[in-house]
Amino acid sequence: MATSTRELFAGWFPRPVRPLVRVGIHAMLDDAMLAAFGFRPAPRAVRALVAGALRLRGRALRLFPARTRKHFITGRPQRSWPHGYRIAELGPPGLRASVDADDV
């Protein structure tokens, strides 16, 4: 499951960049998560670079004004669901059926 999720995320990027995305994801996971998922740890230099980049981003975002509206994905039109969707309608058919039965 973890590999599928990582690959889904990596798939959002151009093919030549995907190996870097995978290493970046591994750099953000702690040792316990890496072991649980069976992932190899990222090199120390990459872990330090990613941690530094995230800290720098956080410092930079403090300089911007606070957001006035939320930017959740459910509030935007999506090419996969051009007419919107309900959370209960998402997922594989077998799972949807069990979620719908629980909602009754």
Segments forming the whole domain that contains residue 95: 73-103
> HSE on the CB side for 32, CA within 13 Å?
0
Task: Classify residue 52: in a domain, yes or no.
Answer: yes
66-101 pLDDT, tens per residue?
888 776 666 666 667 777 777 777 777 766 555 444
Whole-structure pTM value: 0.63
Task: Classify residue 11: in a domain, yes or no.
Answer: yes
- No. of helices (H) and no. of strands (E), the chain: 5, 0
Alpha helices in the chain (DSSP H): 2-10, 18-28, 31-37, 44-61, 93-103
Q: How many domains does the chain have?
A: 2
25-70 pLDDT, tens per residue?
999 999 999 999 999 999 999 999 999 999 999 999 999 998 887 7
**8 and 45 share one domain:** yes
Task: Classify residue 55: in a domain, yes or no.
Answer: yes
